[in-house]
Every structure is written in C-alpha cells, then in structure tokens.
Amino acid sequence: MKIYNKYIAAIALSLCLIGCKAPMATVIKDEVKENLPQNFNQDEQQDANANSGTTPWRQFFTDPNLVSLIETALKNNQELLITLQEIEIAKSGVLAKKGKLTPTVSAGIGAGLKKAGRYTSEGAGDATTEIEPGKEMPDPLGNFEGGLMANWEIDIWKKLRTEKEAAVAHYLSTVEGKNFVLSNLIEEVADNYYELLALDNQLDIIQQYIKLQERALEISKIQKQAAAATELAVKKFEAELAKSKAAEYTIRQDITEKENQINALLGRYPQPIVRTKESFMSTMPQTVYTGIPSQLLANRPDIKQAELELKAAKLDVQAARKEFYPSLEISATLGLEAFKPSYLVKMPESIAYNLAGELAGPLINKSAIKANFQTADAKQIQSLYEYDKTILHAYLDVANLMSKVKNIDQYYQMKSQETKALDQSIDIANQLFRNSRADYLEVLLNQRDALDAKMELIEAKQKQLSTVVDIYKSLGGGWK
C-alpha cells in the first residue's frame, strides 16, 4: 500500500513539473495611457469640474423636434437592436463559463443484451455461476439500468474561474459597445437634422434668388425695348434664371434623401420629418466644456469597451497558460442495475455506484495547446494596440474639434459680414442698372456672389451646430 501511494505521489509530482514548463505570457505596458497629456491645449488650463460629456442628452439638446426624433431612434434603430442581442449573447457566454464551475449531473436509463462466448473466461464463469440456489445465470444476459451520473472538474488552478472572469469582462465590453452605438446614433440623428434644416434654408434662399432673377429679366426686357440694353443681356438673365431653377430641384432632391436618411436611422419607412426651419439661422450653439483628457477614460464608451476587451484578453492568456497544467476530474454514478427488470426493485442487491478521480496533464504533442496560448498572447498584444489607438484618436478628436469650434465661429462672423455687404451691393447694382449706369454683368456678378455667400453662411451655421454635437459625442456624451 505504501508503494502504491508513492507511485501516486510520483505521478502527481511529474504532472506538476510538466505544468511548470508552461510558457510565459508577453509582458505589456500601456505607455499611451501613462503619457496622456494633462490638457487638450497646452497653452490653456481646463476646469476638471466642467465637462459637457457628463451632461445627459435630453438636457444638451433643447429643440423638441430633435428630442422627439432621438427618442424614436433609440426605440427602433436596427443597429442598436442588433447590439442589444450581442449583449444577450455575451451574457449567455458568462452563464456557460459559470456552469463549468459546478458539477454536471444527468439522469439516464438503459437496456442491453449480451452473450459471451462459452469458451471465454467470462462465458465459462457465467456458466458455472448460480444467481440463486438451483438457478443458473441467464444466457444471453440482459442488462437494465437507471440512475444519476455526475462529472466535475475541480478548478485546482482557477482556470475555470479565469475563463468566467474573461467572459464577464467581454460581456461588460458589449454593454459599453451598446453605449457607444447610442452615442453615435444620437450624433448622427442630430447632424442629419441640422443638415436638413440647412437645406430648407438654402431652398428658401434659392427661391428668393429666382424671384430676384425674374425681376432682373423683366427689367432687361424693358430696357431692350427702350434700346437701353441688348438681346445679349436678356439671354444672360434667362440663362441665370434657368440655372437657379435647376439648383432648386437639386436641393429638393437633397431634402428628400436627407429625410429618408433620418427615417432610416429611426427604423421607419419614409415620412415627413417634423421641424421648424425659421429659427435655424438664429440658433445659438451650446457652450461646450471639455474638462481634462483623463476624464475621457471614464466618459467615452469606446475607450471603456477597449479597456474591458484588453482585460478579457489578458485573462484569456492566463486561462490558455493553465491548459498546460494537469486537470483533476471526478466522476460518479449512482443507480439501479440488474439483468432482469423485476430484480431492479430488490434492495440493496440492485444498487450500483461508481466513484473515480482522474488527474491528467499534457505530456507529448502539446502543439494545439501551444498554438492556443500563442493565439491568446497575440490577441492580448492586439487588444493593447486597439486600446492605445482608441485613446489616441479620442484625444485628437477633441483637440481637433476644439480648434474647429473656434475657427468655425470666426468663419461664420466673416461670412455674415460678407453677406450684408453683398446684399447692399445688389441694391446698388440694381439701382444703377435701372438708370443705365451699370451693365448686366455687374448685376449678375453681384447676385451670384450674394447667393454663394448666403449659401455658405447657411452651411457655416450647420457646421457650427454639428461641430458642437461632434465634440459633445467625442467627450463621451450622448449615451446617458
């Protein structure tokens, strides 16, 4: 017995030594996170307590029509609904890994028939065996059984717990992924809504310009009759009028497509988008407070998602490394077994049970385990790069948009001044044309310049509002 125990101890020791030869994972260091700047603009100090990214979206957006569109999108958007199912899949993965920590118990019944050869040790033994005095062993021999079976892998290296923790981290990353989809969805709806309002205002401008061209055409015809202008001037005004009417149809098509783009985000078939275009040009963009860069790590869902995926990848490496260690499995059965159904109720003769433990570890041909470990190690490094890339892009997004907010404001002011000056020049040119003191080219050029300036002013207002939405999303806002 002592020799038997020594053999068991020697086998266990050899298996442990095999496990000790498991390869080491690559040690990774997150330098991008450690070197994150203290401020977005090194020349300015930001207030850490003022961060627009923490503002709930219902407080950030004040247009009731836009708020209603966002609420509809959050209920019906297909991409968001797909993401919610990804969360359910990840949740099931956690339950599956958790289930491996507990014994597997199953119940079963079975029946069989066996005939051993007479000139075998089993057949010869059965032929000389009596079940009861004077009653020989049946031939062929039936077998009827039923009972419970259990299997349990003892988590001696915490491999199963590590796998469960990795599944939990992946599940939490899908939740953050859903938050990122929310943030992107709100940004898309708001940007498209402002673009639609800009198109509405551009349509109004082109219609005003058409009326202006029609009046200019009438004046040129009158002047031609009075010999104060030529047929060339009339044709030039007719061509400009046709060009403006063609531009009107282009804008109308753009409006239709933009409405349908919003409807697609809202997960519904084409229908009119409720909006108020009159107050668009007077809408003042929200004041945005950026806080400090380190707050991006806590506010932006994509960064938190990448961080959790990195955590899951690290845990996957640990679990893959523990595959080199021996595993301990315990199996047990308890039930009733007899060669005849009527004997199953005879106790305790029909009771059968089995209990076994097995300690086994990989010894030869570990290429599959090594490949699995190397794959997990490579994915860990890949996840680190993804995390670093996400942080870097988030910082650059905010820094670029902060600069864009300032520059687009200045651009809008300059365009406003240009528009006012050109409106005045149109009145002057038209007056001079009526009095034959200016030719038609001066009138046309002034009208074209004024139209272009007004169109660009509307685009500047749209970019002004959309940039604020973009920086709000880049700061981590929109999903709360």
Domain assignment present for residue 480? The answer is no
Question: Per the domain annotation, does 344 fall within a domain?
Answer: yes
pLDDT of residue 125 exceeding 80: no
Give the least confident one: 317-326, 369-378, 423-432, 454-463. Answer: 423-432
Q: 79 CB contacts (<8 Å, ≥6 apart)?
A: 181, 185
Assess if residue 320 is contained within a domain. Answer: yes
Least confident of 174-178, 210-214, 275-279: 210-214
Q: Tokens at residue 434, please? A: 């009526």
Q: Which residues pair with 145 in a beta bridge?
A: 110, 337
Check which CATH number belongs to the domain holding 165 and give it.
1.20.1600.10
Cα–Cα distance for residue pair 257/270, rounded to 1 Å? 10
The whole domain housing 58 covers: 1-475
Which amino acid belongs to residue 22? A
Of 419, 410, 384, nearest to 463 (Cα)?
Answer: 410
* 138/129 Cα distance (integer angstroms): 10
Exposed, middle or buried by CB within 10 Å (0-12, 13-18, 19+), for 171?
Answer: buried
Question: Is residue 272 domain-resident?
Answer: yes
Instruction: Please tell me the distance from the alpha carbon of residue 475 to that of residue 362, in angstroms, as a whole number.
Output: 50
Question: What phi, psi does 360 have (nearest 5°)?
Answer: -140, 145
Side chain identity, residue 464: Q
- More confident: 165 or 224: 165
342-353 mean pLDDT: 85
Instruction: Please indicate whether residue 475 or residue 432 has the higher confidence score (pLDDT).
Output: 475
Question: How many residues does the structure list for the chain?
Answer: 480
Instruction: Evaluate whether residue 249 is within a structural domain.
Output: yes
> Which residue from 137, 110, 113 is spatially nearest to 125, judged by alpha carbons?
137
Region of poorest pLDDT, from 29-38, 309-318, 381-390, 411-420: 29-38
Average pLDDT over residues 152-168: 92
**Segment 382-409 mean pLDDT:** 95
Distance (Å) of CA 382 to CA 74, 147, 321, 379: 32, 49, 18, 5
Domain assignment of residue 435, yes or no: yes
Domain contains 285: yes
pTM of the model: 0.85
Helix ranges (H only) for 41-111 are 57-60, 64-76, 78-99
Residue 193 falls inside a structural domain: yes
Question: b/e for 9-42, b at 16 or more Cβ within 10 A?
Answer: eeeeeebeebbeebeebeebeeebbeebeeebee
Per the structure, the count of domains in the chain is 1
